[in-house]
Chains A and B, each alone.
Chain A
Amino acid sequence: AQSVTQLGSHVSVSEGALVLLRCNYSSSVPPYLFWYVQYPNQGLQLLLKYTTGATLVKGINGFEAEFKKSETSFHLTKPSAHMSDAAEYFCAVTFTGGGNKLTFGTGTQLKVEL
């Protein structure tokens, strides 16, 4: 079975500071990893995905994530936080042959302060 653990249910940063949201996965087969963002009362929007190939993936809104197999991690970063980044972020995992079903983490609420 696959699982995702997101460390820190709430993260607070100052505007302009580095954003680091942590995600560790567990999978017995090569994983496909995703980060989604959710704004209040809305659905989930894809930020970025790792399938195969380059381990550093860039997404929308200046976010990027690095797949580290040795650490079973897929942390999300952004060099400089903006007020509009305040939202909930979800890491998710799936695998080939899994029906494209995503298993989500419990989410990290990002707060950006002036």
Chain B
Amino acid sequence: DTGVSQNPRHKITKRGQNVTFRCDPISEHNRLYWYRQTLGQGPEFLTYFQNEAQLEKSRLLSDRFSAERPKGSFSTLEIQRTEQGDSAMYLCASTEETTGAPNSPLHFGNGTRLTVT
């Protein structure tokens, strides 16, 4: 168990540019989640996958945001035409969901901190 890995750890970009983040979950975990955390706030749910299927997207996820999880392994989160309001920590988490009951906790990566200038 090598944990959830996120890359890059930090990203600085200019407004209007596109950025892409990667998340590698714990290998046997079938569910993968993306959260966004701004300063002084708790993480906010963005979207999640079960295997390769994207099951739910938050209203926070505008049409500039897209997430994929090809082959049910790693996931990418892309933000197009970044805005200063996109500056935040983007957290990825994974878990093994088997019974429908949330007995398995989410395991979080260390996040990607995005700064839009």
Contact = CB atoms under 8 A, between A and B. Distances in A.
- A and B from one assembly? yes
A36 B56 CA distance: 23
A77 interface: no
6 contacts: A41-B110, A43-B111, A46-B106, A99-B56, A100-B48, A107-B41
Interface range, A side: 20 to 34
A94 interface: yes
Given A43-B4, A43-B111, A51-B101, A100 B106 contact: yes
B45 A102 contact: yes
Given A41-B113, A44-B91, A99-B55, A90 B100 contact: no
Interface of B: 4, 6, 31, 33, 40-45, 48, 55-56, 91, 93, 95, 97, 100-111, 113
A104 B40 CA distance: 12
Interface in A8-41: 9, 32, 34, 36, 41
Given A34-B105, A42-B110, A107-B41, 6 more contacts: A41-B111, A43-B6, A43-B111, A96-B100, A96-B101, A100-B97
B56 A44 contact: no
Contact of B31 (A4, A46, A51, A100): A100
Query: Most A CB atoms within 10 A — which of B97, B101, B111?
Result: B101
B41 A103 contact: no
Contact of B108 (A41, A45, A51): A45
Interface of A: 4, 9, 32, 34, 36, 41-46, 49, 51, 90, 92, 94-107
Contact of A43 (B31, B104, B105, B108): B108
Q: Return the 4 tightest CB-CB contacts between A and B, nearest first.
A: A104-B42, A43-B108, A100-B102, A44-B108
B104 A103 contact: no
Contacts of B111: 41-43
